[in-house]
C-alpha cells in the first residue's frame, strides 16, 4: 500500500490532493447547508450512488483502456440487466432470496451473452475503423433500449421488495433506511476490491494492464489478446448488468435509467482518466457524492432535484478544460 | 558462430509485399537467416526494415510472399501464434509496460509455467542490474535499463529466434557496449535478426547482412565482406 | 475515351448545358417535391387546399414537410460527421433548442432587459474571447457585432416578433456550438462525443423537468399557437396556408442542400475533407484544423436549429415538446446518414425520405409471423434463416478454417462452405415452418409502425457492418470504380497502339543470400 504512494508521479500526487480537498469541500458545504442529519443522509446516498456508478464506469474504463472502444452501450446493459432481472424476480416463485439470486443470475447471463455477441460479432470486425466502433455502440444502445421498451412497455416499474434478509431497517442520521442499501454498498466495495485484485495479482490482470498500454506488444509476446478483449468486454457488461439488477429493489426499473448511468459513467471516466482503475474508483465517489449533494441542494432551495445533472456536467467541463486526461490518466499526446 | 553451411536457415523470407493501409511499404523483400547467426537488416531511414520485422512477426501480415520458420509457413498465422512458435520480438522504442514492475514485465512473457525460474540465471547473468530493479515499475527505469529489460523479456520463453529492432537507439555508448556484449552472449544459443541504423554497432555485432532499399532487399552477404566495400556502403547506407 | 467525348461535348455545349447535365437529377427532384401535393391529390382524389384540413393531400403535405425537415437535420449531421469527421452524440440539442429559444424569448421577454442583456452578452463574449487568446482587435469587432445584432433582435418595447425570436435562437445555437467546440474539439474525438451527449442530456432534463413548468411547460410542452402569425401556421385557418408553408419548406430544404453542397465544394470544404482524411497532415500543411472544424460545427448547428424551428411550426398541437431534445433526434439522423451514405450529399436525404415516408405509408399495415415475403418465405422462416445466416457470417472465418482443414483444398473449401450454408438454411426453413404449424404464433398481429424503429436499428447495424459507405456511397464507389476501369482499359489500349512492348526495367539484382564467397 505504501509502495503505491511512493511510486506516484507528482501529477498523481497532486490529483490525490485535489480529490481530498474537493471531497472535504463537499462535506463542509453539506454540513453547513443541510445540518448534520441531512448531510449525513446525503453523504450516505452519495456513497450508495457512487457504488452503482462505479459498477458501470469500471466496465467503461476497462473496455476503453484495453479495446480502445468507448462502449456507449454500457447504459443499455444496465437497462437490460434491470428489466431481465425484474421480470425474473417477479416470475420465479421461490423464496425471495432465491428469487433474487435467480434474477441476478438471469441478468448476468443475459447481459454477458449480449456482450459476448456484440464484441465478437460487431466490434471486433470493426477494429480498423474506430470511429464506426463508437457509432455502432451508440446506435446499438438505442436499438437495445427500444427493444426493451417494446418488450416490457414504456411505463416505469416500481421497485420490488428486496430479498428477505435485507428487508430490515436501520437508523442513520435520524432516518430509517432499508438494510438493502447497505447491501448495495457492500456489493460495490466487494467488486471494487475483487476487480482490483484481479488486475494486480493475477496473470490475467497483468495481461489486461499491459494490454491497456500496448495490446499489440502483448500479442507479440504470444498471448491471444482477442480472447482477453472479449473477456474484458463481457466483464464490463456483466458489471453494468449487476448494477441494473441491484437497482431493482432500490429504484425499480425505468427506461431512462440506462442513459442516466451512462452519462455519469462517462463523466467518471473523463474525471478519473481513461483506462485508470484507481481513477475510476476515486472519480465514482466524486461524481456520486457531487450528484447527491447537488440534488439535495436543489431540492432544498428550488424544491426539485433538477440541478444534479447540471452539476455533473459542470464538473465534466471543468475537468476537460483543466486536465483532459483526467486525474489519474496518462498524458494525452 | 555462423553455421549457415551445414543446416537449413532458421528463417526464410521470400519476396514479401506488405501494405500498410494503401501504402505499398515492402515491395519484394527476401531474407535468409542462417541458424545460430546474427544477421542485420541495414538500410536508410524508412527503407522498410522495421516493417520487415513486423511482417515476420505477423503484426503487418504480408499480402504476397512466403515466410518460413524452421520450414513451416508462417503466412496467415496471427502474431501470438507466431510468437508461440519460438520467435521473440524486441520492438523499436523498447515497449515495456510502464505500469508493471520489472518482475511482472518478465512474468508476462512466460509461455509455460516456470519459464522465468528456469531462465533466471541466464537473464540476471546477462543483465545483473535487473535483479536490483526487480520491484520497480517499468516506467521508472532509465532508457538503457528498459532496453535490457526488453531484451531480457524476449529471453524468458524458449525462443530460438529473436527479432531486435534498433537496440542501440537512444543509448549512451557505454550502454551500447553492454548491450552488444549481451547480444553476443545470447547468440550462442539463439539466432538473432537485427535491425540497426548504427553501422558501427551493426558491423561489430552481425555476421551477415541484408540491405533494404525502398522496400526491397537489394543486397546480402557476409559482414566481413561488406566492411571493406566502401562503394556499397556509400550507395545504400549513405555513411562512411 | 470517355474523356474525349466529354471534352467534345462541352466544347460545343458550354457551361449551361454542363450545368444541366450535372444537375438534372436535382432539378427533377425539386419539381417533383414542388408538385407533390398535387401528385398526391391526383392519386388519391383529394383536394390540395380544401376548406377543412382533412384529406390525403393535406395529410401528406404535412408528412412530406416534416420529412424534408428531418432530411435537413440529417444533412446537417452528415456535414459534421460525414464531411468533417466530428462525432456528435448530442445533435438533438440544436434541433430542439430552436423552438424553445424562440418562444421562450417571446413569452418571457421584458423590454427593460434589453440593454442589460446586450451589454452583458457583449461583455461575456469579450471575456471568453480574451480567455481564448483571440487578438483584441478581432475580439472587439466580434463583441460589437454581437451587440449590434442583439440590438436589432431585442425590441425596445413590446414582445419580439417570431423572426426576432428566430434570430436569437440562431445566436443561442452558435453559442452552444462554440461552447462545445472550445471545450472539447481540440481533444480526441471521443471526448467531443461524450461532451455533446452530456450537454444534450442536461438540456433535455431541464426542458422536461417539472420545476420549470411555468417556463417551459415541462412534459406538456411550450404552446405557441397564439404567438405565431397566421402566415407561419400550416394548420389553415386562412386558406392556402398549408400549401404556402409547404412551399416554404421545400425552398428551405433546397437552400440547405445547396448551401451544404456549396460549402463542401468550396476551398474551406476541401480543407475540412482533407482534415477528416488525415488530420496530422492537414495540420502539418499549416491549416488551423480547429478553426475549420469549429466553423463546420457552427454551420451545421445553425442548420439544425433552423430545421428544428420549422419542424416545430408543423407540429400538430403547436407546442414545443421536450422530445425534440431527446436522444431520438440524435439517433435518427445518425442512422439515416449511415444507411444513406456518410459523406455523400444525397445519401442522408434519400435514406430519410425512404425511411420516414415508408414508415408513414405503412403505418396502418399489420402483419403476422406467417405473412409471406414476396411470396417466397414467411416472416417466421425469414427470421430463423436470417439468424443462422448472421451466425455464419459472424463466424465465417472460423468456419472456413475448419472446413479447409477437413477438405484440404481452399478452393473446394469455399464451395463446401457455400453448400453447407445453403443446406443448413434450407433445413432451418423447413424446420421453422413445421414448428410454426404446431403453434399459435399467428394469433399475434404486429403493427408495422411499432416495429419500424427496430427495423431501422437493424438496417443501421447492417449498414455499419456491410455497407460502411451507405447505399449512395457504395453506389458511388461502384460507379466510379467502373468508370476508372473503363478509362484504364482505354488508356492501356491507347498505349499499346503507341509503342511496342518495352522490356520492364530490371530490378536490382540482389546477391543471393546464403551465397558463400
Determine which helix (DSSP H) or strand (DSSP E) holds B29, and give its type and residue range: strand B23-33
User: Of the candidates C510, C515, C516, which has its C-beta nearest B217's C-beta?
Assistant: C510
What does the pLDDT read at residue C6?
53
- Tell me the pairing of strands B161-165 and B87-90: parallel
pLDDT(C264) > 80 = yes
B222 phi and psi angles, rounded to 5 deg: -90, 145
Q: Stretch C83-103: mean pLDDT, rounded?
A: 92
Q: A-chain residues within 8 Å CB-CB of B89?
A: 220-221
Average pLDDT over residues C438-442: 76
**Nearest CA-CA distance, residue A219 and chain B, Å:** 5
Cα–Cα distance list, C466 to A71, B96, C339 (Å): 20, 37, 10
* Model confidence band, residue C240 (pLDDT cutoffs 50, 70, 90): low
Quick one: pLDDT band at residue C515, thresholds 50, 70, 90?
A: very low
- Which of C188, C194, C338 lies nearest to residue A266, judging by beta carbons? C194
Please judge whether B140 and A7 are an interchain contact, meaning their C-beta atoms are less than 8 angstroms apart. yes
Residue of B nearest to A275 (CA): B99
CA distance A100 to chain C (A): 31
Residues 6+ apart with CB under 8 A from A31: A39
- pLDDT (tens digit, 9 = 90+) per residue, C96-113? 999 999 988 888 888 888
The reply to whether A217 touches chain B by the CB within 8 Å rule is: yes
CB–CB of A178/A167 below 8 Å?
A: yes
- State residue C507's pLDDT score: 39
Dihedral sign for Cα atoms in the order A163, A167, A172, A175: positive
Stronger pLDDT, B101 or A174, i.e. the higher one: B101
Which of C244, C360, C260 lies closest to C304 in space, CA to CA? C260
Checking if the pLDDT of C86 tops 80, the result is yes
CB C76 within 8 A of CB C93: no
The closest CB to that of A121, out of C89, C194, C394, belongs to C394
> Do strands B216-222 and B208-213 pair parallel, antiparallel, or not at all (unpaired)?
antiparallel
pLDDT of residue A29: 87
Residue C185 CA to residue A113 CA, distance in Å, equals 36
Q: Is the pLDDT of residue A3 over 70?
A: no
Q: Give me the residue from B79, B108, B136 closest to A210, CB to CB.
A: B108
**B44-58, B176-190, C291-305, C438-452: segment of lowest average pLDDT:** C438-452
pLDDT in the model for residue C65: 92
Q: Which pLDDT score is estimated for C66?
A: 93
Distance CA A280, CA A286 (A): 10
Q: What is the pLDDT of residue C11?
A: 54
List the single residue in B59, B99, B137 with the smallest CB-CB distance to A220: B59
Give me the CATH topology for the region A21-153+161-322: ABC transporter involved in vitamin B12 uptake, BtuC (1.10.3470)
Strands (E), B59-207: 64-69, 72-73, 87-90, 161-165, 191-195
Is the CB of C516 less than 8 angstroms away from the CB of B5?
yes
Mean pLDDT of the residues in chain C = 82
pLDDT tens digits, residue range A128-166?
Answer: 777 888 888 888 888 898 888 888 888 887 777 777 777
Q: Residue C397: which of B65, A76, A124 has the closest Cα?
A: A124
Q: How much is the CA Rg of chain A, to the nearest whole Å? A: 20
Contact B108 A218 (CB under 8 A): yes
Instruction: Tally the residues of chain C.
Output: 517
List the single residue in B with minimal CA-CA distance to A225: B80
Phi, psi of A223 (to 5 degrees): -105, 130
Contact criterion met (CB < 8 Å) for C514 and B34: yes
Residue with cell 523470407: B13
Q: Give the chain C residue nearest A70 (alpha carbons).
A: C190
Q: Where residue A300 falls among pLDDT bands split at 50, 70, 90?
A: confident
Residues of C with CB under 8 A from a CB of B: 507-508, 510-517
Q: Which of residues 93-122 of B touch A (CB under 8 A)?
A: 95, 97-100, 104, 107-109, 111
Give yes or no for a contact between C48 and C243, defined as CB atoms under 8 angstroms apart. yes
Q: Mean pLDDT lowest for which of A12-21, A181-190, C92-101?
A: A12-21
Q: Which of A48-62, A140-154, B175-189, C205-219 has the highest average model confidence (pLDDT)?
A: A48-62
- CATH number 2.60.120 given to C2-109+159-361: no
How much is the pLDDT for B4? 46
Extract the C-alpha cell encoding C197. Answer: 451527449
pLDDT in the model for residue A332: 44
Residue position matching grid coordinates 474525349? C4
Residue C508 confidence (pLDDT) = 37
Among A296-305, C143-152, C256-265, C429-438, name the most confident range.
C256-265
Residue B146: its chain A contacts at CB < 8 A?
none
Touching partners of B (3+ C-beta pairs < 8 Å) = A, C
Q: State the best of C514, C515, C516, C517 to mutate against chain B, taking most chain B CBs within 10 Å.
A: C514
* CB atoms C198 and A134 under 8 Å: no
The one-digit pLDDT tens for each residue of chain B (240 residues) are 444 456 788 899 998 998 887 788 899 899 999 888 899 999 888 888 999 999 999 998 888 888 999 888 888 888 999 999 999 999 988 888 988 899 999 999 998 888 888 888 888 888 888 888 888 888 888 888 899 899 999 999 989 999 999 988 888 888 888 888 888 888 888 999 999 888 888 888 899 999 988 888 888 888 888 888 888 787 777 754
Q: Could you say which of A64, A146, A324 has the minimum Cβ distance to residue C454?
A: A146
pLDDT of res. A302: 76
Tell how many helices (H) and how many strands (E) occur in chain B: 10, 10
Q: What is the pLDDT of residues C476-498, one digit of tens each?
A: 888 888 989 988 888 888 888 87
Q: How would you class B238 by CB atoms within 10 Å of its CB: exposed for 0-12, middle for 13-18, buried for 19 or more?
A: exposed
**Whether pLDDT at C220 is above 70:** yes
% of chain C at pLDDT higher than 70: 92
Q: Classify the phi-psi angles of B209: left when phi > 0, otherwise alpha if psi is within -120 to 50, otherwise beta.
A: beta
Q: Judge: A263–C198 Cβ closer than 8 Å, yes or no.
A: yes
The closest alpha carbon to C449, from C380, C350, C382, C360, belongs to C360
Whether C510 and B213 lie within 8 Å, measured CB to CB: no
Determine the distance in angstroms separating the CA of B175 from the nearest CA of chain A, rounded to an integer. 24
3-state SS track over C129-187: HHHCCCCHHHHHHHHHHHHHHHHHHCCCCCCCCHHHHHHHHHHHHHHHHHHHHHHHCCC
Residues in chain B closer than 8 A to C515 (CB atoms): 221
Q: Which three cell numbers stand for residue C517?
A: 564467397
Q: What is the DSSP string of C275-319?
A: HHH-HHHHHHHT--HHHHHHHHHHHHHHHHHHHHHHHHHT-TT-E
Q: Does A128 touch chain B (CB under 8 A)?
A: no
- DSSP designation for A331: P
* CB spacing of B4 vs C510 below 8 angstroms: no
Across the B/C interface, how many CB contacts are shorter than 8 Å? Answer: 34
Q: Which residues of chain B does C516 touch, with a Cβ-Cβ cutoff of 8 Å?
A: 4-5
Q: How far apart are CA A306 and CA A303, in angstroms?
A: 9
| C-alpha–C-alpha distance, residues C464 and C17, integer Å | 38
Smallest Cβ distance to B83: which of A3, A214, A220?
A220
DSSP A289-321: HHHHHHHHHHHHHHSSTTHHHHHHHHHHHHHHH
| pLDDT on residue C511 | 35
d(CA B84, nearest CA chain C) in Å: 19
- Contact check, Cβ <8 Å, B221/C508: no
Other CB atoms within 10 A of residue B75 CB: 13
Read out DSSP for C417-478? HHHHHHHHHHHHHHHHHHHHHHS-GGG--EEHHHHHHHHHHHHHHHHHHH-TTHHHHHHHHH
- Beta-sheet pairing, B87-90 with C372-373: unpaired
Half-sphere exposure of C344 (CA within 13 A, CB side): 23
Which of A10-14, A220-224, B193-197 has the lowest average pLDDT? Answer: A10-14
Among B77, B101, B106, B108, most A C-beta atoms within 10 A, so best to mutate, is B108
In terms of Cβ atoms closer than 10 Å to its own Cβ (0-12, 13-18, 19+), residue C357 is middle
- Residue C377 bridge partners (DSSP): C373
pLDDT-derived band at C292, boundaries 50, 70, 90: confident
Q: What is the pLDDT of residue C244?
A: 81
For residue A224, what are the CA distances in angstroms to A180, A211, A214, C183? 41, 11, 13, 38
H or E, element range at B39: strand B38-42
* Half-sphere exposure in the Cβ direction for C235 (13 Å, CA): 12
Q: Mean pLDDT lowest for which of A178-192, A300-314, C2-16, C450-464?
A: C2-16
Nearest-Cα distance to chain C for A166, in Å, is 33
Higher pLDDT, C506 or A161: A161
The confidence score (pLDDT) of residue C461 equals 82
For residue B75, report the phi and psi dihedrals to the nearest 5 degrees.
-60, 135
User: How many CB atoms within 10 Å of residue C145?
Assistant: 12
Question: Residues A198-230, buried b or exposed e (16+ Cβ, 10 A)?
Answer: ebeeeeebbbbbbbbbebbbbbbbbbebbebbb
- What is the rounded radius of gyration, in angstroms, for the C-alpha atoms of chain B? 17
pLDDT tops 70 at residue A4: no
Where in chain C are the domains? Answer: 2-109+159-361, 369-444
Highest mean pLDDT among C141-150, C215-224, C252-261: C252-261
C198 lies within 8 A of chain A by CB:
yes
User: How does residue A333 score in pLDDT terms, banded at 50, 70 and 90?
Assistant: very low
DSSP helix/strand/coil, C102: helix
**Closest C-alpha to C89, from C225, C200, C252:** C200
Give the predicted TM-score (pTM) of the model. 0.84
Max mean pLDDT among A76-85, A86-95, C451-460 falls in A76-85
CA distance A256 to A148: 11
Q: Where are the domains of chain A?
A: 21-153+161-322
Facing C511 at nearest CB: one of B5, B34, B221 = B221
pLDDT of C348 > 80? The answer is: yes
CA distance B96 to A112: 32
| Grid cell locating B35 | 541458424
Asked if this assembly's ipTM is beyond 0.85, the reply is: yes
C102, three cell numbers: 424562440
Question: ∠ at Cα A109 (A107, A112), nearest 5°?
Answer: 100
Q: How many CB atoms lie within 10 A of CB C193?
A: 23
Amino acid at each position: 500500500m505504501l509502495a503505491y504512494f511512493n511510486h506516484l508521479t507528482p501529477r498523481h500526487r497532486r490529483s490525490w490532493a485535489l480529490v481530498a480537498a474537493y471531497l472535504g469541500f463537499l462535506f463542509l458545504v453539506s454540513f453547513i447547508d443541510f445540518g448534520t442529519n441531512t448531510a449525513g443522509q446525503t453523504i450516505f446516498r452519495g456513497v450508495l450512488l457512487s457504488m452503482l456508478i462505479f459498477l458501470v464506469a469500471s466496465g467503461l474504463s476497462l473496455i476503453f483502456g484495453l479495446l480502445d472502444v468507448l462502449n456507449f452501450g454500457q447504459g443499455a446493459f444496465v437497462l437490460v440487466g434491470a428489466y431481465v432481472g425484474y421480470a425474473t424476480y417477479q416470475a420465479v416463485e421461490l423464496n425471495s432470496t432465491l428469487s433474487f439470486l435467480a434474477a441476478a443470475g438471469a441478468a448476468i447471463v443475459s447481459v454477458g451473452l449480449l456482450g459476448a455477441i456484440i464484441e465478437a460479432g460487431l466490434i471486433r470486425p470493426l477494429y480498423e475503423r474506430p470511429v464506426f466502433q463508437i457509432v455502432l455502440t451508440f446506435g446499438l444502445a438505442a436499438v437495445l433500449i427500444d427493444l426493451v421498451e417494446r418488450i416490457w412497455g414504456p411505463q416505469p416499474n416500481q421497485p420490488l421488495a428486496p430479498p428477505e434478509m435485507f428487508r430490515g431497517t436501520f437508523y442513520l442520521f435520524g432516518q430509517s433506511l432499508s438494510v438493502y442499501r447497505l447491501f448495495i454498498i457492500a456489493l460495490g466495495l466487494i467488486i471494487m476490491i475483487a476487480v482490483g485484485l484481479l488486475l494486480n495479482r493475477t496473470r490475467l490482470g497483468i495481461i489486461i494492464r499491459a494490454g491497456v498500454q500496448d495490446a499489440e506488444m502483448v500479442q507479440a509476446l504470444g498471448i491471444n489478446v482477442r480472447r482477453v478483449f472479449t473477456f474484458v468486454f463481457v466483464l464490463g457488461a456483466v458489471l453494468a448488468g449487476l448494477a441494473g439488477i441491484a437497482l431493482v429493489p432500490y429504484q425499480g426499473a425505468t427506461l431512462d435509467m440506462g442513459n442516466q448511468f451512462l452519462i455519469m459513467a462517462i463523466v467518471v471516466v473523463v474525471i478519473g482518466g481513461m483506462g485508470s482503475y484507481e481513477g475510476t474508483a476515486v472519480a465514482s465517489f466524486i461524481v456520486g457524492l457531487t450528484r447527491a449533494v447537488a440534488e439535495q441542494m436543489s431540492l432544498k432551495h428550488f424544491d426539485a432535484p433538477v440541478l444534479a445533472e447540471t452539476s455533473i456536467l459542470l464538473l465534466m467541463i471543468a475537468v476537460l478544460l483543466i486536465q483532459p486526461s483526467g486525474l489519474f490518466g496518462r498524458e494525452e499526446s | 558462430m555462423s553455421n549457415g553451411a551445414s543446416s537449413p536457415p532458421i528463417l526464410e523470407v521470400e519476396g514479401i509485399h506488405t501494405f500498410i493501409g494503401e501504402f505499398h511499404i515492402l515491395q519484394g523483400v527476401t531474407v535468409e537467416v542462417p541458424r545460430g547467426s546474427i544477421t542485420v537488416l541495414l538500410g536508410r531511414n524508412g527503407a522498410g526494415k522495421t516493417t520487415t520485422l513486423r511482417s515476420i512477426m505477423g503484426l503487418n501480415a504480408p499480402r504476397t510472399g512466403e515466410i518460413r520458420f524452421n520450414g513451416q509457413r508462417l503466412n496467415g498465422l496471427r502474431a501470438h501464434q507466431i510468437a508461440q512458435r519460438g520467435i521473440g520480438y524486441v520492438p523499436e522504442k523498447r515497449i515495456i509496460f510502464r505500469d508493471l514492475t520489472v518482475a511482472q514485465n518478465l512474468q508476462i512473457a512466460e509461455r509455460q509455467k516456470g519459464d522465468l525460474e528456469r531462465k533466471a540465471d541466464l537473464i540476471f547473468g546477462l543483465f545483473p542490474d535487473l535483479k536490483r530493479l526487480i520491484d520497480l515499475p517499468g516506467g521508472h527505469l532509465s532508457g538503457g535499463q528498459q532496453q535490457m529489460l526488453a531484451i531480457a523479456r524476449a529471453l524468458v520463453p524458449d525462443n530460438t529466434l529473436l527479432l531486435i529492432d534498433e537496440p542501440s537507439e537512444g543509448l549512451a555508448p557505454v550502454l551500447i557496449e553492454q548491450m552488444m556484449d549481451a547480444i553476443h552472449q545470447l547468440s550462442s544459443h539463439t539466432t538473432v535478426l537485427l535491425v540497426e541504423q548504427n553501422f558501427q554497432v551493426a558491423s561489430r555485432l552481425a555476421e551477415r547482412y541484408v540491405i533494404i532499399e525502398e522496400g526491397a532487399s537489394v543486397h546480402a552477404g557476409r559482414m566481413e565482406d561488406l566492411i571493406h566495400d566502401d562503394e556499397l556502403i556509400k550507395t545504400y547506407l549513405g555513411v562512411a | 475515351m470517355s474523356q474525349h467525348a466529354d471534352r467534345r461535348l462541352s466544347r460545343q455545349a458550354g457551361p449551361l448545358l454542363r450545368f444541366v447535365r450535372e444537375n438534372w437529377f436535382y432539378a427533377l427532384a425539386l419539381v417533383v417535391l414542388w408538385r407533390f401535393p398535387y401528385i398526391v391529390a391526383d392519386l388519391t382524389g383529394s383536394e390540395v387546399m380544401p376548406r377543412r384540413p382533412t384529406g390525403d393531400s393535406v395529410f401528406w403535405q404535412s408528412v412530406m414537410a416534416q420529412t424534408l425537415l428531418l432530411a435537413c437535420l440529417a444533412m446537417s449531421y452528415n456535414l459534421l460527421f460525414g464531411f468533417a469527421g466530428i462525432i456528435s452524440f448530442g445533435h438533438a440539442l440544436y434541433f430542439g433548442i430552436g423552438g424553445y429559444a424562440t418562444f421562450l424569448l417571446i413569452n418571457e421577454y421584458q423590454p427593460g432587459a434589453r440593454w442589460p442583456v446586450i451589454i452583458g452578452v457583449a461583455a461575456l463574449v469579450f471575456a471568453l474571447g480574451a480567455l481564448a487568446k483571440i487578438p483584441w482587435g478581432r475580439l472587439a469587432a466580434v463583441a460589437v457585432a454581437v451587440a449590434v445584432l442583439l440590438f436589432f433582435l431585442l425590441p425596445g418595447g413590446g414582445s419580439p416578433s417570431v423572426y426576432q425570436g428566430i434570430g436569437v435562437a440562431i445566436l443561442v445555437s452558435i453559442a452552444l456550438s462554440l461552447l462545445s467546440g472550445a471545450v472539447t474539439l481540440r481533444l480526441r474525438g471521443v471526448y467531443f462525443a461524450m461532451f455533446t451527449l452530456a450537454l444534450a442530456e442536461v438540456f433535455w432534463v431541464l426542458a422536461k423537468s417539472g420545476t420549470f413548468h411555468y417556463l417551459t411547460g415541462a412534459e406538456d410542452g411550450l404552446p405557441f399557437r397564439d404567438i405565431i402569425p397566421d402566415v407561419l401556421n400550416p394548420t389553415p385557418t386562412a386558406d392556402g396556408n398549408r400549401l404556402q408553408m409547404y412551399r416554404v419548406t421545400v425552398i428551405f430544404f433546397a437552400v440547405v442542400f445547396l448551401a451544404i453542397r456549396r460549402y463542401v465544394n468550396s476551398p474551406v470544404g476541401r480543407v475540412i475533407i482533407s482534415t477528416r482524411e488525415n488530420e496530422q497532415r492537414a495540420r502539418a500543411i499549416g491549416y488551423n484544423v480547429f478553426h475549420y472544424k469549429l466553423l463546420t460545427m457552427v454551420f451545421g448547428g445553425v442548420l439544425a436549429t433552423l430545421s428544428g424551428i420549422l419542424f416545430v411550426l408543423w407540429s400538430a398541437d403547436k407546442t414545443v415538446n421536450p422530445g425534440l431534445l431527446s436522444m431520438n433526434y440524435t439517433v435518427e439522423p445518425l442512422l439515416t446518414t449511415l444507411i444513406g451514405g456518410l459523406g455523400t450529399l444525397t445519401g442522408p436525404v434519400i435514406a430519410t425520405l425512404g425511411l420516414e415516408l415508408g414508415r408513414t405509408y405503412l403505418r396502418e399495415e399489420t402483419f403476422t409471423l406467417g405473412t409471406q415475403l414476396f411470396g417466397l418465405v414467411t416472416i417466421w422462416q425469414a427470421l430463423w434463416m436470417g439468424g443462422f445466416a448472421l451466425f455464419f457470417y459472424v463466424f465465417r472465418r472460423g468456419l472456413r478454417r475448419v472446413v479447409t482443414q477437413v477438405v484440404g483444398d481452399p478452393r473446394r473449401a469455399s464451395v463446401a462452405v457455400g453448400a453447407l450454408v445453403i443446406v443448413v438454411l434450407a433445413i432451418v426453413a423447413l424446420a421453422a415452418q413445421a414448428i410454426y404449424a404446431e403453434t399459435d404464433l399467428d394469433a399475434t398481429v404486429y403493427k408495422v409502425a411499432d416495429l419500424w424503429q427496430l427495423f431501422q436499428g437493424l438496417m443501421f447495424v447492417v449498414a455499419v457492418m456491410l455497407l460502411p459507405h451507405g447505399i449512395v456511397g457504395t453506389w458511388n464507389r461502384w460507379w466510379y470504380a467502373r468508370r476508372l476501369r473503363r478509362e484504364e482499359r482505354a488508356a492501356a489500349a491507347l498505349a499499346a497502339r503507341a509503342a511496342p512492348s518495352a522490356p520492364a526495367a530490371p530490378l536490382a539484382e540482389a546477391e543471393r543470400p546464403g551465397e558463400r564467397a
